[in-house]
Amino acid sequence: MMRIDVISAVPDSLISPLNTSILKRARERNKVEIVVHNLRDYAHDKHKLIDDKPFGGGPGMLLKPEPFFECIEILLNERKYDHVIFPTPGGKIYDQKMANDFSLVENLLIIAGHYKGVDDRVRQKFATDEISIGGYVLTGGEIVALAIIDSIVRLIPGVLNDSESALNDSLMDGEIIEAPYYTRPAEYKGMEVPEILLSGHEKKIKEWKEEQSKILTEHWKKINSME
Ligand code: ADE
């Protein structure tokens, strides 16, 4: 079974998403083991301090190196990690290809920073993959960790049902956006479902979906300046 460890200073923010819907089901079916570690459990002074002022000045607080080092060294003594993922706006932009690659390994460790960041020695010592989920700044790595975990876990065989299959997803091969979907009612507030989808004509429906997919993919490339 694949195992994913996450270290966080605000572990509560991870608990509910990891215990909902498909991630919950995947864990219950033993398709993945996800273990959340509370950084504060690795602080040993009287006040369990995990942050401190940055050298050289500047606003905000930094997460101290020692609790990360202690926690990560314990984990590294227990198993080898295929990737140690460090979320940072300066990292490589995450995409489906990276999700596909990560979904094939045994052990992942995600180091989620918070506040203004993490003492850089943690990144230097342990990070194998620095990852950004887009050109904007979040308050911490937790949402990044969840995006990465969600995108990986749904690819593990047996996690999705046939009807949820990931095989013909948008972006599965990196450059296809799927045709839109509709369900009942066929007409709602004057808005009609494309007639072809109600026709029962399988071949024509398939052609329509391919055509729509082509149009949406071109549009997607254009609005993202990809060609
Ligand atoms: N930390 C803060 N913002 C981030 C982003 N966009 N991607 C990865 N890590 C982050």
Ligand 1 neighbour 136 (Cβ under 6 A): yes
The pLDDT tens digits for 11-47 are 999 999 999 999 999 999 999 999 999 999 999 999 9
| Residue 158 CA, ligand 1 centroid: distance in Å | 30
| Residue 115 CA, ligand 1 centroid: distance in Å | 12
Ligand 1 neighbour 94 (Cβ under 6 A): no
DSSP code string of 155-200: TSTTSS-GGG-STT-TTTTSS-PPPP---S-SEETTEEPPGGGGS-
Ligand 1 neighbour 117 (Cβ under 6 A): no
| b/e per residue 176-208 (b: at least 16 CB within 10 A) | bbebeeeeeeeeeeeeebeeebeeeeeeebeeb
Q: CA 108 to CA 128: how far, in whole Å?
A: 11
Domains of the chain: 2-153 (3.40.1280.10), 175-223 (1.10.1270.20)
Considering only CA atoms, which of 192, 204, 182, 72 is closest in space to residue 127? 72
| Residue 112 CA, ligand 1 centroid: distance in Å | 10
Beta bridge partners of 51: 63
- Residue 166: which pLDDT band, with cuts at 50, 70 and 90? low
Ligand 1 neighbour 88 (Cβ under 6 A): yes
| Residue 164, C-beta contacts closer than 8 angstroms, at least 6 positions apart | 22, 154
Ligand 1 neighbour 147 (Cβ under 6 A): no
Q: What strand order describes the sheet that includes 107-111?
A: 32-38, 2-8, 107-111, 83-93, 129-132
Percent of the chain with pLDDT over 90: 88
Across the range 135-157, mean pLDDT stands at: 97
Task: Using the predicted structure, report yes or no on whether residue 173 has a pLDDT greater than 60.
Answer: no
Give this prediction's pTM: 0.94
Structure tokens that stand for 36 in this block: 């959340």
The pLDDT tens digits for 62-118 are 999 999 999 999 999 999 999 999 999 999 999 999 999 999 999 999 999 986 799
